[in-house]
Amino acid sequence: MTIQEQIENTADTDETGISRRGFLGLLGAGVAATAAVVSANSDASVGHHKSDKKLAFQQNEAQYEEALNNPPKIPNYNWNEHKWSYGVDVSRCIGCLRCMEACKAENSVQEDANHHRTWVERYVYLEGSAEAVIDTPADPKNVENVGSEVHFRFDNRYKDEKVDKAFFVPKLCNQCEEPSCVQVCPTGATFKAPDGVVLIDTNYCFGCQYCVQACPYGVRSLNEERGTAEKCNWCYHRITKGLNPACVEVCPTGSRVFGDLNDKNSPISLFIKNNQVTVLKSEMGNKPNLYYAGADKEVS
Amino acid sequence: MPKHIVRLLSVIAVLAIIALSARWYFKDSSFYQYGHYRGNAPAEIASKLPKHQGSASCQSCHKAVYAEWSAGIHRKATKDNAVPGIVVKSGPNCEVCHTAAGNHPSKEPMPLSVEDRMTTITHSHDHVHASNVPGRKLLLTPDEMRGMCMACHEKMQGRPSTQPQVVIDAHAGEELCVTCHNPHSPKINFDKVPRMVAMKKAEVGNAATGKTVSANCATCHGTTGVSASGAIPNLAGQKQVYLSNALRAYKSNARSNGIMSAMASALSDSDIENVSAYYAKNSCKAPSADKGKAAAGKAKYAASGCASCHSSGGLRNPGLAGVSASQAWPNLAGQNAEYLVSALKAFQEGNVKANQDGARYHAIMTNVAKTLSASDIENLAAYLASSNCR
């Protein structure tokens, strides 16, 4: 018997006769049982994926009825008639970043390199490398290259390198069906609207940033000027007026696609129908509404 | 019930009442209407006004340019059907380069929410130009102008091969994109881009034939293009394309001057090319000038951004002052000071609606000239006149 085994043996049994390992096992079972009860309870309160009615996240039956019968007074818009969704065709993106600048102008996002509601990542596989090198427009080298924090450009750092594969990936809020950010918000300042968009009520947000940490996609940030959370809402003020989000409007290559899933001929319905689409980090269980076509394995 | 229990219960009751009334007072009446949030919030968020108005909103006033754009490759859905069955618009629309229209035109000139961009260059309207707005940059430098195009067209790893891309230095050297490409419809069509027409024809200009044509010009401009009087511009060593553009402008009265319009109308298209070629190849001669004025002019030349266009290196590299980077823009070095003064004053007077004698409107030059005082003009002219012209 080695010294190591001796130590383990003494540690495993104490004077009460219950081994430490056994006690930990009991404790684990207790935690699991509690968790089961809690999750059963929360299922009952959320319940939307078990019901025929499509309740929005954290919405009860009465609230669902209210949303149906007495929707918010938005001119010429009924949120029960739409189910917005968004598509990104990675193979078309040229990394021009017009979307970033348009978004910041449209939504008055804080004007520095690190605050944005949408951005584009550059993935580069250098020759012989199995892993991509990733940079974003907020990378200090890119900021230095453009010489301004209000304009965005990728520098041409791989101009003279040998590259196996490279591509640009636009990122923005996934408007999840089960948004982690909404779940953690302590004030009800962020919520899932029945038309599919996760919105922020800046009157009720006090900038605690739980949501910033909860989001698996890193799309949230704190607007330090307003002291509230900041994230893409698919330009809710535009889509409720029948317009496209600003980034879709300005995308010169059509790599951003937006539309209503309730309309079978909308760009997004056709996009999903005609492409093999994926979502990011499906293992997180957030059920994103942002679909990617042509996204590489490294993209997450 | 014991007294202390009653006390305790009443304290609890009071606290409960305070808590409930605080909840009643602070909770928005629409909270929990649709869920755990304020029911009024969605309508508030939706009530924000859009800043990007879409190209259709530009069309009503900017008909000609809109037509140009919509017929061109920047509108064409070049990559549509790359994925079968998906119809998405493709190609940059107005606001991609010009930035969001915002309240334009009802409340503002083209208002640039992030920063002034293209208007000073591209809009030959009498808008309140960005030059008149405090804190706004007067002009885009050549690098910035090219940067607009390079945002999408710079050759870069990761851009799909279907995207047209160039290595700018090899593709154009110091030349600006707009010298050859019309940004609204960038595919070069030699019949539609005036500068390209000029450049193409310039190649066939024959200096020897031009010399015979120049006999008519010699009275004022001298036999080799060094003019007889300070008020008359020297032509020797001037850019060929600039000369032929100017002659065509006189001929069509786009630029008006009693004598020159009459002279130019007598010239055929080939005469114009030939005489331009003749003067362009002659050597120029820099007159001497007041050294004090020239020194002051040199400082002003640097401060006003003249070098963006009228320097052989542009702003990017040191180059010869007053020797233009583009074939289509005039050399100023060695030009007569008196003529330069009158030209700058004419630009100052320039108004897009009245382009008669003594006043010249040019989208860029008029804006620059308006920032200059009378003594600035004298100094600049003295500096440029005394600069080495080759």
Distance from C-alpha of A102 to C-alpha of A81, rounded to nearest angstrom: 28
The position carrying tokens 């009442």 is: B17
Q: How many domains does chain A have?
A: 2
Select from B91, B147, B158 the Cβ nearest to the Cβ of A166. Answer: B158
A19 and A125 part of one domain: no
DSSP state of A228: E
Same structural domain for residues A115 and A36? no
Q: What is the pLDDT of residue B134?
A: 42
Measured in angstroms, the CA of B21 and the nearest CA of chain A are apart by 18
Mean pLDDT score of chain A: 85
Residues A132 and A31 in one domain: no
Task: Name the token pair of B177.
Answer: 């994109």
Claim to verify: residue A101 and residue A25 sit in the same structural domain = no
N residues, chain A: 300
CA distance B329 to chain A (A): 28
Mean pLDDT, range B107-117, rounded to an integer: 43
Task: Report whether B132 contacts B119 (CB < 8 A).
Answer: no
ipTM of the complex in this document: 0.79
Cβ contact (<8 Å) for B158 and A188? Answer: no
pLDDT tens per residue across span B36-72: 999 999 999 999 988 888 888 888 877 887 888 888 8
Q: Are strands A190-192 and A221-223 parallel, antiparallel or unpaired?
A: unpaired
Same domain, A65 and A92: no
d(CA B293, CA B375) in angstroms, rounded, equals: 9
Q: Indicate whether A254 and A286 sit together in one domain.
A: yes
| A111 near B CB under 8 A | yes
Do A24 and A79 fall into the same domain?
A: no
pLDDT at A201 over 90: yes
Q: Which of residues 131-170 of A touch B (CB under 8 A)?
A: 148, 150-151, 153-154, 156, 158-159, 161, 163, 166-168
Percent of all residues in chain B with a pLDDT value above 90, rounded to a whole number: 15
B372–chain A nearest CA distance, Å: 28
Q: What are phi and psi of B344, to 5 degrees?
A: -65, -40
CA distance B60 to B62: 6
Residue where one domain finishes, among candidates A71, A87, A102: A71
pLDDT averaged over every residue in chain B: 77
| Residues A44, A93 within the same domain | no
What range defines the domain where residue A189 resides? Answer: 74-300
Q: Which of B23, B27, B30, B34 is the best mutation test for A, with the most CBs of A within 10 A? A: B34
User: Are residues A183 and A65 part of one domain?
Assistant: no
Interstrand relation of A84-89 and A256-260 (parallel, antiparallel or unpaired): antiparallel
Q: With 80 as the cut, is the pLDDT of residue B189 above it?
A: no
Domain end among A24, A45, A71: A71
The predicted model gives A187-210 an average pLDDT of: 94
In this structure, the answer to whether residues A189 and A57 fall within a common structural domain is no
Mean pLDDT of B120-125: 38
Give the end of a domain, one of A25, A52, A71: A71
Measure the N-to-C terminal CA separation of chain B; round to a whole number of Å.
111
Q: Are residues A116 and A226 in the same domain?
A: yes
CA distance B375 to B367: 17
Same domain, yes or no, for A220 and A143?
yes
pLDDT at B142: 63
Give the CATH number for residue A285: 3.30.70.20
Torsions phi, psi of B382, nearest 5?
-65, -40
Q: Once rounded to an integer, what is the mean pLDDT over residues B281-300?
A: 82
Q: Do A252 and B91 touch (CB under 8 A)?
A: yes
Cis bond before residue B105 (omega within 30° of 0): yes
